[in-house]
Amino acid sequence: MDLRRRNFLQAGAVLSFAVMSGVLTLEEARAAETQWNKELFEATDNEGVFKALGASSPEKSDKVKLVAPDIAENGAVVPIALSADMENVTMMAFLIPENPNTMTGMFNIPEGTEANIATRVKMAKTSDIFGLVKAGDKYYLAQKEVKVTLGGCGG
């Protein structure tokens, strides 16, 4: 059996079991469809993202560290990391204005968790990457330019 098909069937079985056993209600399973911010993920620039989040003007802060390569040889897999040395961090996000959708990834940080995330992103072309952090009621920003030699978003 194809491994992808097997994984799909296993995931379906687990979800079905969770719904049937009462661990997950049908309403909760459907709620995931409606709990996303369409305006946020369709924004084509930083200002659109800030507006959708209700973040009027994020402050640049040296307590927010964005780590990314200076040059990415392959824009399809660019490793990036974001950390914040501050209290009450509840959300961290990556914004890449040159990509088709500026909001590249958003992570909710549970209370008591270290504010440190790492992932890989696709980049269409050379661009600034922004790390956005929400701590308390304020938003903070870090920025770094990454030069892409081979595009990852259809390039």
In terms of pLDDT, which residue wins out, 5 or 123? Answer: 123
Torsion 112-106-15-21 (CA) sign: positive
Residue 116 belongs to a domain: yes
Joined tokens for residue 2: 């194809």
- Contact (Cβ atoms closer than 8 angstroms) between residue 71 and residue 129: no
Residue 39 belongs to a domain: no
Mean pLDDT, residues 144-155 taken together: 76
In angstroms, the CA 17 to CA 65 distance is 41
Mean pLDDT, residues 140-150 taken together: 93
- Contact (Cβ atoms closer than 8 angstroms) between residue 43 and residue 52: yes
In angstroms, the CA 2 to CA 23 distance is 29
Give the model's pLDDT for residue 3.
Answer: 63
User: Mean pLDDT lowest for which of 78-82, 88-92, 108-112?
Assistant: 108-112
Strands 116-121, 71-72: pairing is: unpaired
Strands 59-60, 64-67: pairing is: unpaired
Give the model's pLDDT for residue 110.
Answer: 93
Residue 116 has pLDDT above 90, yes or no: yes
Residue 44 belongs to a domain: no
Instruction: Tell me the angle at which helices 26-34 and 3-20 cross, rounded to the nearest 10 degrees.
Output: 120
User: Mean pLDDT lowest for which of 17-21, 36-40, 66-70?
Assistant: 17-21
Whether residues 15 and 65 fall in one domain: no
How crowded is the C-beta side of 112, counted as CA atoms within 13 Å? 0
pTM: 0.74
Whether residues 104 and 142 fall in one domain: yes
Residue 118 has pLDDT above 70, yes or no: yes
Query: Which phi and psi angles does 47 have, rounded to 5°?
Result: -60, -40
Residue 88 belongs to a domain: yes
Q: What's the total number of domains in the chain?
A: 2
Residues in Cβ contact with 130 at an 8 Å cutoff, skipping those fewer than 6 apart? 46, 66, 94, 95, 96, 97, 141, 142, 143
How crowded is the C-beta side of 13, counted as CA atoms within 13 Å? 6
CATH number, domain at 121? 2.60.40.2470
Domain hosting 101: range is 57-148
Mean pLDDT, residues 16-45 taken together: 69
